Homo-oligomer: A and B are copies of this chain.
């Protein structure tokens, strides 16, 4: 089947999809526009036809993903703080599991103090945090959660999930090097989700 020609929507999407993949795998700097073009099977100049430049493309990639995860979590909201908390954790975890590129990108972005963090992406992050904040605040009002510091709880959840996903290969190697070391390298995403949810409940002193 001959390669389809002159299909704007398709080309644009191929670029963004493959850009996400590569940015996540290799980071912003180590991903070249040549790489993206090759991976997307698209002419390099097309990237500049559809996106102003590399950093704009990057910003769109990120925004795209962060918004998707936000929508997914919101869609399942139930107006019950505990259930919403569980939903937040499990949806976030499973999304990251399905898109292992995301955690790497987020960590990378957060790790340079937002020096290059695009406005739009920053807004998406705040939106996600705002969501958890709201859930926690409601739970506190209803006396279900105690002593809540939302930012820290947020990082305990998303930071831990992100790190577990990005470090998966490293943890495997570490276990092979030292059998004594329990790096949770065989933990399934379900187990991780469950464990975190349980621990967060303990932290927030939820009565069973």
A171 within 8 A of B: yes
Please judge, given known A-B contacts A29-B29, A156-B160, A202-B205, whether A182 and B151 are in contact too, CB under 8 Å.
Answer: yes
Decide: A171 and B192 in contact? CB cutoff 8 A. Answer: no
Bound form: Cα–Cα A27–B178 in Å = 30
Decide: B166 and A113 in contact? CB cutoff 8 A. Answer: yes
Interface stretch of the complex, out of A6-14, A39-47, A79-87, A126-134: A126-134
Please judge, given known A-B contacts A113-B168, A122-B170, whether A199 and B156 are in contact too, CB under 8 Å.
Answer: yes
B105, B110, B166, B187: the one contacting A166 at CB < 8 Å is B110
Interface residues of A in 150-193 (CB under 8 A from B): 150-152, 155-156, 159-160, 162-164, 166-171, 173-174, 177-178, 181-184, 187, 192
Decide: A25 and B112 in contact? CB cutoff 8 A. Answer: yes
The count of chain A contact residues (Cβ–Cβ below 8 Å) is 58
Residue-wise interface mask of A (103-126) relative to B, using a CB-CB cutoff of 8 A (1 in contact, 0 not): 111011011111101000010001
Bound form: Cα–Cα A191–B106 in Å = 25
Residue on B with the closest CB to A105?
B111
Decide: B152 and A113 in contact? CB cutoff 8 A. Answer: no
Bound form: Cα–Cα A133–B28 in Å = 34
Bound form: Cα–Cα A202–B147 in Å = 12
A26 within 8 A of B: yes
